[in-house]
């Protein structure tokens, strides 16, 4: 799961116009625009943005609960740590 909003330096509930402006700015100076194009496709459509945001919330929650996977009884069949790498503030590189 890619944390588009975090990498644009925006909160999960950022206004559509703010997101669009940030995307335009990022697209202007990017060499590899694949991620940015994906981000634009998902975040520009209200339906996909809605469900992206809701999934984003669950990833934020899972990030907070990640230590639960350290329990001996827990499993990690979805390699959550790797999926959450972009939700870790320390690892949040700009989206370019």
Partner 1 sequence: MTEESYLNHKLTKTMVLPLAAICAGFVLTIVLFFATTGSAIADAYSELSATDKAYIDTQCLPIQYKEGAAAFRQCVIEQTESLSAVQNSAQTSLSFDEQFAVQQFCQSVGNPGSEAHENCANDQINSLQVVPDTDFSQVADDEIYALQQGCYSIQTRAGVRAYRECVNTALGALAEIPRPDLSTLSLLDKNALQLRCSALHDEAASYRSCLLEAMDGAVAPTTAAGSDDVVDDTAALDTASGATETAPLTNAEAAVSTSPLPDTTATEIASPEPVEVPTSAVEPVTNAAPDTDEPTSLPIEQPLPENTIASSEPDDTVIDQLIPVADSQAVTLESSTDTDNVVEGSDAGSILDKARNAGSSMWAQLQASAASLSNMGKLIMLAALALPLCLVGFWLLMRGRQTETPYEPAPYPNPLIDRVGPSQQRRERDVDYDSMASGLDTPDYAEQVDELFAQDNSTRLVKPDVAPVPTTVRHQAVTKAPDRGRISSWLVEQEPAQQLSLAIEFMIYWTAYADERYEPGLRQTIFALKDPDQHELIKRWVLKQDTQAFAEITSWLQSRTTADQREQILNLLMALLVNENAMTPAQNTLLRFLGDAFGAGNEKLDALYREAFGHPMPELPRTDKPLWWQQQAADDLKRWDARTVSRQSNDLQYRVRLGLPLTEALEEQQILTHFQRAVDRCNPQKLDLLTHRERMLVDRQLEKFEQAKNGLMEAFV
Point out which residues bind partner 1 (CB under 8 A). Answer: 1-2, 4, 38-39, 41-42, 47-48, 51-52, 54-55, 57-65, 67-69, 71, 73-78, 80
Residue 39: CB minimum distance to partner 1, A: 8
Return the DSSP state at 1.
-
* d(C-alpha 55, C-alpha 60), whole Å: 9
Token pair 């335009």 is at which residue? 24
Cα within 13 Å of Cα(40), Cβ side: 14
Shortest separation between residue 76's beta carbon and partner 1, angstroms: 6
Q: Which is nearer to partner 1, 18 or 61 (CB)?
A: 61
Query: Closest by alpha carbon to 60, among 79, 38, 86, 82?
Result: 86
70: tokens are 């350290």
Minimum distance from residue 18 beta carbon to partner 1 (Å): 19
Using the minimum distance from each CB to partner 1, give the nearer residue, 18 or 69.
69
Find the shortest distance in angstroms from Cβ 33 to partner 1.
13
């Amino acid at each position: 799961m890619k944390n588009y909003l975090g990498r644009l330096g925006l909160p999960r509930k950022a206004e559509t116009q703010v997101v669009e402006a940030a995307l335009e700015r990022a697209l202007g100076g990017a060499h590899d625009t694949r991620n940015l194009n994906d981000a634009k496709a998902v975040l520009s459509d209200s339906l996909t943005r809605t469900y992206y945001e809701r999934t984003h919330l669950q990833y934020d929650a899972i990030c907070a609960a990640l230590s639960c996977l350290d329990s001996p009884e827990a499993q990690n069949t979805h390699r959550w740590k790797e999926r959450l790498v972009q939700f870790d503030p320390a690892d949040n590189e700009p989206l370019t």
